Structure 1
């Protein structure tokens, strides 16, 4: 049988709650070498639904899907090898697989390789240099890094999850869930680990180097789009009662040419007019680890045009996107 990820029979079985029969069909097709079956199995194992999450097995299914020619499996496998989803992160192996995919005619892989080759990186994917910082405040520390990203990198990051954009949510410490709230009226999407191309991961390593932290301390990139009238009202980025606090915030401004949308620190009297490619870094906590109320900030309403920004929240300790709690 030839199994497509949207195969109606599988979906019907799942809708009926017959996971066992659906799984049997997928495994049967996978055993016959069907690339779609291998890929669907990998997605289930990564998501932990409708079967329990099993990252090592998911990686084996992705490898099988890649070998059998599934068009999306190769890039997902490359991303997960580089960020260490199932084993330790292996940047050199991920780069080798990207070269294989690009040389095999995968146009997206070739585009990613071109962007990656334009970066000055060491063998681990870390940046060889950073732009000189501009200090906007020493206490609390607020730093702008001009042109941390190129226009092509900004576009790549904006498109990494643009298809997932939906009304933004905020973290509710009571329910431990993301909920809608009038404080935040932008559109939002997370660039999860399966979408972290090597280009995205090289940017994340750049962010880690700029903040003096390790890349695995960061939450997944949050992509934000502000249309006219949308804003993020004054707030702190810390999470009340968190045992693994957000100690730093990095804002990556992905475009310019819009009106409004300044980043305002109202307690400090600082307004930042974004420039495409710039990064803004600031501490969220005091020396004792408690939230620093002085870092309350807002994204002012956009008056015209569309503002794109990506946010990377950095935790005090390692953060797993597979088990956020």
Structure 2
């Protein structure tokens, strides 16, 4: 391999033509940045075909998202499988989540968990964090979850470090206090959305190292049994809050630490809410959602975000394949979601095509990630009745009557935030499988 940093663009091209795969990937990146799409893809495919892990990962993402290439999920899976064989960790992580969802490949939670365990055992800190959060969601082996988080925090993982900060007590070991002090300090520097609440823990300490927290030993069969619980979860604790529109609530359905994790993952992805204007054919500012949105499509999930999105579908009694994308919403002061209906009105233009493609919208499911200090309450029905909620609660609005006709009272909204921020996650459940 050549020292690419010392090469000019012309020399990089020469090295790429001579068979240097790193140079091929670098040339593809440069051409892409300059807007030469076809040439960039050509070099990217050459690098991927010659075994360059990052090139294969990038090419797979192009196919998954339809960027620079026609969308082809099956082709993306084939490329990622090559990355899995060579243990290219970003490829393994993405492939694992796609297998769990059944996106472009046979759906297998068991296979996905096997890959996640192998990644964690190999010392991949994001896999340790995902495994730990899945155990927390399953309410199983919480001591192992903490050990995994500690090990990940000592392997440069910010999410794990903030989790350790959230669990500190007077009885915590000094190492845990030092881990928290370091990562809270880093999180404050980076403007992390969860850092402010722990700012008193920040301190001038050295970065934690691997020798402070070896990889914990665990029985994989016991872990697999624990995580199987996530696949059979049912909303048995749902309480009816309103009869019409029919609204149910599941309290503490998602642990607070996972709510914070989803916020942290979503913050860099947030964009001002938009909607498609059929008259102009352009995306315009959303007429009802006065906030920010981070959308998770198949290729955006990891095992934790998928497990949470899956739980929102299960809360409505549906398989995740019948749910639209997982949207995280954030509202600053004065932000709100104006009253809306989510069922498809058959009398509106374009409704026939919508119903044929996806079926009626039977439920609107909302996860409360963070309540605002003041305002931001969810309201339902034409009388705008508000509902008391806490972080981690799931709300299920049924949009249809018992005869499966749309309920014209199935309205929902989020009141203006007066102080602080409001964060939610939203999924719409449809009558037909969603093919994204």
Residues 182 and 5 (structure 1 numbering): CA distance in 2 closer, same or farther, change over 3 Å? Answer: farther
CA–CA distance in structure 2, aligned partners of residues 118 and 158 of structure 1 = 17
Structure 1 vs Structure 2 CA RMSD:
2.6
Q: Does 1:72 align with 2:90?
A: yes
Residues 4 and 153 (structure 1 numbering): CA distance in 2 closer, same or farther, change over 3 Å? Answer: farther
Farther off after superposition, 67-76 or 27-36? 67-76
CA–CA distance in structure 2, aligned partners of residues 158 and 51 of structure 1 = 31
Q: Which digits, 9 at most, give the CA deviation of each residue in 1:10-60, with x for residues without a partner?
A: 4425755451x3333122212322111111111111122312222222112
Residue 61 of structure 1: which of 79, 87, 90 is its match?
79
Q: Does 1:207 align with 2:312?
A: yes
Contact 2:296 2:325 in 1 (8 A): yes
Q: Secondary structure at the match of 1:182?
A: coil
Q: Which has the higher strand share?
A: 1
Q: Secondary structure at the match of 1:294?
A: coil
Q: Which digits, 9 at most, give the CA deviation of each residue in 1:194-247, with x for residues without a partner?
A: 222222222233223321122110011110001001011111122341312211
Q: Which digits, 9 at most, give the CA deviation of each residue in 1:52-89, with x for residues without a partner?
A: 22222211211223444544222111111111111221
Give the match for residue 132 of structure 1: 237
CA–CA distance in structure 1, aligned partners of residues 280 and 236 of structure 2 = 40
Q: Which has the higher helix share?
A: 2
The answer to which structure, 1 or 2, has the higher relative contact order (CA under 8 A, 6+ apart) is 1
Farther off after superposition, 234-243 or 140-149? 234-243
Residue 309 of structure 1: which of 424, 428, 431 is its match?
424
Residue 82 of structure 1: which of 87, 92, 100 is its match?
100
State the 1:6 CA deviation. Answer: 8.3
Contact 2:373 2:420 in 1 (8 A): yes
Q: Secondary structure at the match of 2:290?
A: coil
Give the match for residue 116 of structure 2: 98
What are structure 2's unaligned runs of at least 5 residues? 1-19, 139-225, 346-350
CA–CA distance in structure 1, aligned partners of residues 271 and 431 of structure 2 = 28
Contact 1:127 1:205 in 2 (8 A): no
Contact 2:378 2:413 in 1 (8 A): yes
Contact 1:262 1:299 in 2 (8 A): yes
- What TM-score does the superposition give when structure 1 sets the normalisation length? 0.89
Farther off after superposition, 217-226 or 162-171? 162-171
Contact 1:81 1:89 in 2 (8 A): yes
- What TM-score does the superposition give when structure 2 sets the normalisation length? 0.67
CA–CA distance in structure 2, aligned partners of residues 4 and 144 of structure 1 = 55
What are structure 1's unaligned runs of at least 5 residues? none
Residue 40 of structure 1: which of 55, 58, 61 is its match?
58
Q: Which has the larger radius of gyration?
A: 2
Q: Secondary structure at the match of 2:228?
A: coil
CA–CA distance in structure 2, aligned partners of residues 177 and 220 of structure 1 = 21
Count of matched residue pairs: 320
